[in-house]
């Protein structure tokens, strides 16, 4: 199968290539694609070097599938052109996520919505992905009424420029700034742009995407998203109120049996999820599971996942795997 990776030289694109290798995705022809300034650069796939090509040349090769991580503007322009020649696009940008008629998919949660006619499929926001993977089993059992989530997000979510800023600050080097403030030894309650309602775009992504993926507009979600100086994964403090009462022992069982979830919850032994644990892993790690003692039917939990892997690249490749398995491409 011909597989195109669009944005092959970026942080997420590089991870997509790695995940394709690791999961032995059935690639008969590997097509790395990027912007004109990167055309001709070499990337490695399964030990062989491939030259990066431009968009139109990739379209002309008519790959059955293309995984995109090239930014919203690029996706808006080029994803429909790939789709026109029969390519199924799995897009990691925010461009199509809330578009009516475009499926927003986390395979462990709602892969069942995919059909052969879906030629552009949206990959959700990284912080949304890990939260819904952790919550879907509990939602089925107890029905979620309201989620209050605070995130602690890795600089890798912004990209290489942000990682460089943090590392430069650690070395005392003045360099290009990805953020309006210093990030090392700091925390920025500011991810993406601020909107008229006082929330950031990242916070509203978590609100709207959660409802769409869970197929339940009645779920109330409020979020505060924070950038912290770590590499390895995003962390979330999630407070979730259910319609039905639960037993804590049953919550543990549901989470332990949830696809893609690893429970790490032994506080007496200092065992709980951390970004350093999730780094280069594909699972969603859940710990600090406990009742909210201030109101009934409410749970607190701590959710951690590698934002470049499950939060982006791995989720996209899992969508592609599902399409192949179900013969939808």
**Residues with active-site annotation:** 126, 234
Cα gap 87→58, rounded to integer Å: 10
Q: Under a CB-based contact definition with an 8 Å cutoff, are residues 202 and 192 in contact?
A: yes
- Of the CA atoms within 13 Å of residue 94, those in its CB half-sphere come to 13
The CA-atom distances, in angstroms, between 145 and each of 6, 28, 216, 268, 298 are 38, 46, 10, 31, 10
Q: Under a CB-based contact definition with an 8 Å cutoff, are residues 141 and 250 in contact?
A: yes
Cα gap 291→203, rounded to integer Å: 24
DSSP state of 161: H
The CA-atom distances, in angstroms, between 255 and each of 151, 153, 185, 249, 258 are 20, 23, 33, 10, 5
């Amino acid at each position: 199968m011909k597989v195109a990776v669009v944005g092959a030289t970026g942080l997420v694109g590089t991870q997509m290539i790695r995940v394709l290798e690791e999961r032995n995705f059935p690639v008969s022809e590997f097509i790395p694609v990027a912007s004109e300034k990167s055309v001709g650069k070499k990337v490695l796939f399964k030990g062989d070097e491939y030259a990066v090509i431009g968009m139109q040349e990739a379209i002309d090769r008519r790959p059955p599938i293309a995984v995109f991580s090239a930014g919203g503007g690029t996706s808006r322009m080029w994803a429909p052109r790939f789709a026109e020649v029969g390519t199924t696009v799995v897009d990691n940008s925010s461009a199509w996520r809330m578009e009516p008629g475009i499926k927003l998919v986390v395979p462990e949660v709602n892969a069942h919505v995919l059909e052969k006619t879906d030629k552009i499929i949206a990959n959700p926001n990284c912080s949304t992905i890990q939260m819904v993977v952790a919550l879907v089993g509990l939602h089925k059992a107890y029905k979620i009424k309201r989620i209050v989530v605070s995130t602690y997000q890795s600089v890798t979510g912004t990209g290489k420029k942000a990682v460089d800023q943090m590392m430069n600050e650690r070395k005392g080097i003045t360099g290009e700034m990805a953020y309006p403030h210093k990030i090392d030894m700091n925390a920025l309650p500011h991810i993406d742009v601020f909107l008229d309602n006082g929330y950031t775009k990242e916070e509203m992504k978590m609100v709207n995407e959660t409802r769409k993926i869970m197929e339940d507009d009645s779920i109330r979600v409020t979020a505060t998203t924070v950038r912290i100086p770590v590499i390895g994964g995003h962390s979330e403090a999630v407070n979730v109120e259910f319609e039905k009462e639960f037993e804590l022992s049953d919550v543990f069982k549901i989470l332990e049996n949830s696809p893609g979830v690893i429970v790490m919850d032994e506080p007496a032994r200092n065992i709980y999820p951390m970004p350093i644990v999730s780094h280069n892993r594909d699972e969603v790690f859940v710990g600090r599971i406990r009742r909210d003692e201030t109101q009934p039917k409410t749970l607190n939990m701590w959710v951690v996942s590698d934002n470049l892997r499950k939060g982006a690249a791995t989720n996209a490749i899992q969508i592609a795997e599902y399409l192949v398995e179900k013969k939808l491409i």
